[in-house]
Amino acid sequence: MFSQGLSLEQAPPISVVLRFFLSVPVFGIFFSLLLIIYPLEILTPNHPISLSAIHLFFLGVISMSMIGSLFQMQSVLGGRPIPSVLGNSLVIHTFFTAGLASLVSAFFFHIPAMFVIAAVLLGSSLVFLVQLILPLLFGGVVHDTLRGMRLALISLLITALFGVVMAVSFANETFGNLHAAIRTAHYSWGLIGWVAALIIAVAFQVIEMFYVTTPYGAWCKRNAFRILALSLILKTSWLFLALPYLWVFDLFVAVLLIGFVITTILRLRERKRRVGDVSIWFWTMGMGLLLISLISYSAYLWNWSASLETVAIISFGLFSLAIILGMMTKIVPFLVWFHLSSSGYLETPIMSTIIPAKRNKTLFALFTISSLFALVSVFKLLLLPVAGVGFFLLFALLGYNLIRAVRLYTHIQKTGTRFVMNANSIA
Amino acid sequence: MILLDTRGLEHPVPLEMAFSAFTKLHGAQILHMIHTREPLPLFELVTKNEGKYYSSQDDEGIWHILMTRDESIHLESCRV
């Protein structure tokens, strides 16, 4: 009856996670519309519409999913439940959503005052999230995924703080000498410290568990986050001190991530039981996209071609989206099944039927086609709206999958029959 | 004792098989699950559905989980 690191009955209510997940397709559809309507502006670095799209994607799609997942991960892996999880998650979601809407509006409609509102709402929601979860990751059980979650949350906090400083600059329409350094630090901590670190932490946990592979090496698991953290700290210091050879720290990160890609692909190829699963396709595709991103970025450091930088950013975004979509195909059915089963409903369907494989395969096909068009559009602008249509369909299907899963859950909750366990019989 | 060996099966099959077998337990029956990892979510499902469990790890790192719906059984004494 004893299990180290787990206190029972601590999984958060299903609404906590699904609230964040259900918001993802909404922001994804807005992002897709921008790709369809404003392709030229999107591919123009630092254009306000491009910044709108980037934040819609990395906050509205990627971070929204990751924050939702964190509520589940912390409760299951962290060993300690989040206090008042329903109310706290609602506050965070509301402020985060309103803040993101303000930020995107501020860029899109060029309303400087909206940057202040965005800074207050987004900054407070993220600081609140970090102060809520981060202390729970210390003082209890310690494992490698938990270390990755710590780095991810600290990085999110740093990203948010740099973001607030930049938002104030945009509001005042005055940019100091350090603006470029702050901007680079903002996206470095966001993309590597927050997004990549959390995905690596998740991989350490789920690749072995879900797909019955050999585990990642102990040295890798122990040191990956240390190397990432050290590289980011040194890069930030170098940026603000304007020291030379800044690219060395990017190279450290790139080598580590290439090691992660190779190890993950090898693990997936060496699976003991090769059961067909769309989530594995997404993981494999994600690793391929991360590799494209790393190669493009390394080439960009060599010859400073803007196109290579754009390819690197797009493929990094697609890598994170691939992993998130792959994980959602696993997490959403699990949550529905788990919460119905824990309430003892007889009609609880098996997980594989909650989101049918056919719809998941369609999701993957849409992702593959849209990604291809998005990457090629860097060289053929006309293809970006086509990619936008693909992403529109992808996010619409994702929304449909999520809504169907929620409706199934609520339907069984309202009409289902429960076990009568004490009588050792079934009602 | 009912034996359920889920080693080598991919997620979520072990969890679904184990919980399904648990719901079919009668009287003093005990379900003995053998798995390569500690199935943490299963424990919450078992306790929420008025069951009890005991998990232990052997020298080879394999997890043995005993589950029953009979409150009077002392699972630790049945440990494998």
Whole-number Cα distances in Å, A243 to A42, A240, A248, A305: 31, 8, 11, 22
pLDDT tens-digit readout, A334-380: 999 999 998 889 899 999 999 999 999 999 999 999 999 999 999 99
Contact between A210 and B9 using a beta-carbon 8 Å cutoff: no
Query: B51 and A424 in contact (C-beta within 8 Å)?
Result: no
Structure tokens at A219: 């040295």
3-state secondary structure of A173: coil
**Unique residue bearing structure tokens 């559809």:** A29
The residue type found at A334 is F
How far does the CA of residue B11 sit from the closest CA of chain A (Å)?
A: 5
Contact between B48 and A209 using a beta-carbon 8 Å cutoff: no
Compare CB distances from B26 to A333, A334, A424 and report the shortest one's residue: A424
Q: What are phi and psi of B72, to 5 degrees?
A: -80, -15
pLDDT tens-digit readout, A382-406: 999 999 999 999 999 999 999 999 9
The Cα–Cα gap between B45 and B19 comes to 8
pTM above 0.90, yes or no: yes
Residue A302, pLDDT score:
87
Structure tokens at A387: 């990619």
The Cα–Cα gap between A242 and A239 comes to 5
Whole-number Cα distances in Å, A62 to A24, A328, A335, A337: 8, 12, 19, 24
pLDDT tens-digit readout, A175-210: 989 999 999 999 999 999 999 999 999 999 899 888
Q: Rg of chain B over CA atoms, in angstroms?
A: 11
Structure tokens at A37: 């309507």
Contact between A344 and B48 using a beta-carbon 8 Å cutoff: yes
The residues, ordered by sequence, that sit 6+ positions from A101 with a Cβ below 8 Å of its Cβ are: none
In this prediction the ipTM stands at 0.87
The Cα–Cα gap between A201 and A228 comes to 12
Compare CB distances from B44 to A11, A344, A422 and report the shortest one's residue: A11
Residue A115, pLDDT score:
97
Instruction: Report cis status (omega within 30 of 0) of the bond before A356.
Output: no
Compare CB distances from A421 to B37, B55, B69 and report the shortest one's residue: B69
Q: What are phi and psi of A120, to 5 degrees?
A: -65, -50
pLDDT tens-digit readout, B5-31: 999 888 889 999 999 999 999 888 999
Residues forming beta bridges with residue B3, ordered by sequence position: B32
Name chain A contacts of B53, Cβ cutoff 8 Å: 1
Instruction: Give chain B's domains with CATH numbers.
Output: 2-78 (3.30.110.40)
Name chain A contacts of B9, Cβ cutoff 8 Å: 212, 273
Name chain A contacts of B27, Cβ cutoff 8 Å: 424
Q: What are phi and psi of B27, to 5 degrees?
A: 50, -125
Q: Does residue A8 register a pLDDT over 80?
A: no
Compare CB distances from B50 to A338, A421, A426 and report the shortest one's residue: A421
Comparing alpha-carbon positions, the chain B residue that sits nearest to A274 is B10
pLDDT tens-digit readout, A106-154: 999 999 999 999 999 999 999 999 999 999 888 777 788 899 999 999 9
Structure tokens at A12: 């958060």
Q: Rg of chain A over CA atoms, in angstroms?
A: 21
